């Protein structure tokens, strides 16, 4: 992402937060003290289940274990980002966790945990195909972080047909 785009995303997110009753969203950041907050985990758990629907285990127990592992790897991934990117991601997650922000940015009526996988997939597709660059960038961040964190786990490599690195 280019610097101007990143700055525009941050400015637009701040504007939407202010217009959408942002004080409540500022009180619930998506990232704090090196880890996803409960609202950040809620958003990424829902997004992860939607984007990785065909890759996650079908049974509830193993699926929840995979989601918990995904959230842990997202923490590791985000810790490696520069502080300004962490702050912007926190704002995005906070915005998406708020009702007005979820409606405006994702077009999702139900809270993340109550929405079906199909509803979340439809909301994400709307973001991906939006004419608004802000929505496209938010989608790209959610998608790339979720899939990057999931497929960084060697246990997921067989799903890709990747045998792992060559033994030297």
Domain assignment present for residue 17? The answer is: no
Written in H, E and C, the secondary structure of the chain is: CCHHHHHHHHHHHHHHHHHCCHHHHHHCCCEECCEECHHHHHHHHHHHHHHCCCCCCCCHHHHHHHHHHHHHHHHHHHHCCCHHHHHHHHHHHHHHHCHHHHHHHHCCCCCHHHCCHHHHHHHHHHHHCCCCHHHHHHHHHHHHHHHHHHHCCHHHHHHHCCCCCCCC
Lowest model confidence (mean pLDDT) among 26-30, 70-74, 81-85, 130-134? 26-30
Identify the pLDDT of residue 167: 86
Domain assignment present for residue 112? The answer is: yes
Over residues 62-78, the mean pLDDT reads 96
* pLDDT above 60 for 22: no
* Cβ-based neighbours of 113, under 8 Å, separated by 6 or more: 42, 45, 46
* pLDDT above 90 for 13: no
Over residues 142-162, the mean pLDDT reads 91
Domain assignment present for residue 61? The answer is: yes
Range of the domain at 145: 24-155
Identify the pLDDT of residue 25: 45
Domain assignment present for residue 5? The answer is: no
* pLDDT above 70 for 95: yes
Q: What's the pLDDT band for 153 if we cut at 50, 70, 90?
A: very high
Domain assignment present for residue 76? The answer is: yes
Number of separate domains in the chain:
1
Q: What's the pLDDT band for 4 if we cut at 50, 70, 90?
A: low
Higher pLDDT, 158 or 77: 77
Express each pLDDT in 34-53 by its tens digit: 999 999 999 999 999 999 99
């Amino acid at each position: 992402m280019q610097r101007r785009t990143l700055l525009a995303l941050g400015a637009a997110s701040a504007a939407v937060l202010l217009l959408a009753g942002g004080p409540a969203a500022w009180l619930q950041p998506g990232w704090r003290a090196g880890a996803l907050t409960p609202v950040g985990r809620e958003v990424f758990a829902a997004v992860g289940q939607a984007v990785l629907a065909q890759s996650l285990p079908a049974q509830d127990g193993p699926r929840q274990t995979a989601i918990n592992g995904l959230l842990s790897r997202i923490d590791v991934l985000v810790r490696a980002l520069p502080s300004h990117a962490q702050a912007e991601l926190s704002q995005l997650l906070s915005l998406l966790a708020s009702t007005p922000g979820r409606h405006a940015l994702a077009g999702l009526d139900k809270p993340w945990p109550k929405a079906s996988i199909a509803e979340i997939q439809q909301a994400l597709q709307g973001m991906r195909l939006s004419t608004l660059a802000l929505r496209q960038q938010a989608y790209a961040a959610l998608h790339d972080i979720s899939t990057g964190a999931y497929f960084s786990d060697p246990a997921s490599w067989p799903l890709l047909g990747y045998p792992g690195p060559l033994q030297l």
